[in-house]
Amino acid sequence: MALKATIYKAELQIADMDRHYYGTHTLTIARHPSETDERMMVRLAVFALHASDTLTFTKGLSEVDEPDIWQKDLTGRIEKWIDLGQPDERRMARAAGRADAALVVAHAGRTADIWWQQVRNKVARLDRLEVWSLADGAAAGLAALAERSMCLQFTRQDGQLWAGSASADPVLVEWQVLKAPGNAA
């Protein structure tokens, strides 16, 4: 018998001073049986960093032809493709070809550094691709905020993101841009 996804409910209160975006999003998250709390919470944090009225979670790990998060316009054109983890260069090229902007967020510490060294030259030519690496400890700190029903506050200012809840200490989420869009790696 196949394991089923675990359902989480999250209310995100977002104050993004860098983008001048302020809003509340009520989300239902299906956590795949193979997904960890760390990865799920990184998905929420990345959602908060790019929040808009049209940004949505996809089937993610359950569907190999979709990213974790995307933003589409009214015609169905993919404006933003966001993958988490360490995809191979073919997947990143496909994402950059299908979307106006593609973002990969690596969050596995030292293994992310090794992955990046292996793929950086292969994706340097992809103008629409951006690659970030979360700071060590950010994913674990976010995982400490995970609950089946969450009310989280995300505050972004000066390139930093703070995540918090009423029941846990705030977590600083920092990232390094490994590849900016339009730039070589």
- For residues 106 and 129, give the distance between their C-alpha atoms in angstroms, rounded to a whole number: 13
For 31, 49, 154, 157, the CA distances from 24, given in Å and listed in that order, are: 21, 13, 10, 17
pTM above 0.85, yes or no: yes
Q: In angstroms, rounded to a whole number, what is the distance separating the alpha carbons of residues 50 and 79?
A: 12
pLDDT greater than 90 at residue 171:
yes
pLDDT of 4 above 60: yes
Contact 145, 172 (CB under 8 A): no
* Average pLDDT, integer, range 127-138: 95
For residue 110, the model assigns a pLDDT of 84
92 CB contacts (<8 Å, ≥6 apart)? 83, 102, 104, 119, 123, 126, 129, 131
pLDDT reported for residue 91: 95
The whole-number pLDDT of residue 183 equals 64
Q: Whole-angstrom Cα distance, residue 47 to residue 173? A: 13
d(CA 127, CA 180): 8
Least-confidence region, from 92-96, 169-173, 179-183: 179-183
In this predicted structure, what is the pLDDT of residue 60? 63
pLDDT band at 2 (very low <50, low <70, confident <90, very high): low
The pLDDT of residue 109 is: 78
Indicate the class that CATH gives domain 6-179: alpha beta
Q: Percentage of residues in the chain with pLDDT exceeding 90?
A: 82
Q: What is the tens place of the pLDDT at every residue in 36-86?
A: 999 999 999 999 999 999 999 987 655 678 999 999 999 999 999 999 999
